[in-house]
A = this chain, B = another copy of it.
Amino acid sequence: MVQYPQIDRTLAALADPTRRGVLERLGRGSATISELAEPFGISLTGMKKHVRVLEDAELVTTEKVGRARRCSVGTHRLDDVQEWMKTYRRMLDERLDRFGTLLERTKGVPHAQ
């Protein structure tokens, strides 16, 4: 089985509504940790942890500006996750097609060429 450490980190980072909210906020422009924390009503320490998880997943980049840390969306475009999901759905569709063929044969109806 192929291991995807990066896709694991991406999916785990996205599996939290605050972290998805941070990405949506940063999509509109960069922000400091305290600018991010305030609308979510969470502590600076809590927001720092969320940002660290997003940074490890390469979804966010941060830069020290004076005494603040400015966060921006990273370059990660979720291609790996979307690719896996497309492959999975294709497999499900093919499986449903096979079931359909089987059902038609069971009913004695010839399968469309």
Contacts and interface: CB of A to CB of B under 8 A. Distances in A.
Contacts of A11: 11-12, 14-15
Given A78-B89, A82-B85, A3 B17 contact: yes
A27 interface: yes
Given A15-B11, A17-B4, A88 B95 contact: no
B24 A15 contact: no
* Complex copy number for this chain: 2
A40 B7 CA distance: 19
Contacts of A91: 24, 27-28
6 contacts: A1-B40, A4-B17, A24-B91, A27-B88, A27-B95, A28-B95
